[in-house]
Structure 1
Amino acid sequence: MSFFRITLNRSAIGLPARTRGALSALGLRRRTQTVFRPVNVSVAGMLMRVKELTAVRRE
């Protein structure tokens, strides 16, 4: 099974609630935190919402 390696690079301070909600759903709370999530459509949709804030690699 493959995973996305997601790292939060920029803070969510001052951003809309939907953007902050997507980060929360991905499990990202603080800058430079890294999480692994499975590759699926719902995770990909959340990543599209926060693409400017994160760095993503597929592993």
Structure 2
Amino acid sequence: MSFFRITLHRSSIGLPERTRGVLAALGLRKRSQTVFHPVSPQSAGMIMKVKELVKVKEVERALTPEEMRAERRPEPGFWLEKAMPR
């Protein structure tokens, strides 16, 4: 079973109540928040209503909150991109 990975990319400030209601039904409240919904015609219809505000990717499985946190965590250490002149 595949899932839609939906991330809120743009804010809903100043948009009609109906559009904000669709985002609330999807479970999106804050920018950069990501939710997973199973692929279905109902989910696809809600996504089409707010397609300008969200980024959507189809994935094989929904990630757990721990996996999402680990995905955002940077790799340990640091890289020296360019030495500063002295």
TM-score with structure 2 setting the length: 0.68
Amino acid across the alignment from 1:56: V
CA RMSD of aligned residues (A): 0.4
Amino acid across the alignment from 2:4: F
Q: Distance in 2 between matches of 1:39 and 1:2?
A: 6
Regions of 4+ moved over 2 Å: none
Structure number with higher relative contact order (C-alpha < 8 Å, ≥ 6 residues apart)? 1
Partner residue in 2 for 1:42: 42
Partner residue in 2 for 1:12: 12
Amino acid across the alignment from 1:27: G
SS of the residue aligned with 2:25?
Answer: helix
Partner residue in 2 for 1:26: 26
Q: Distance in 1 between matches of 2:38 and 2:18?
A: 21
- Identity between Structure 1 and Structure 2 (%): 68
Amino acid across the alignment from 2:50: V
Specify the structure having the higher radius of gyration (Cα): 2
Normalized per residue, the structure richer in strand is: 1
Aligned pair count? 59
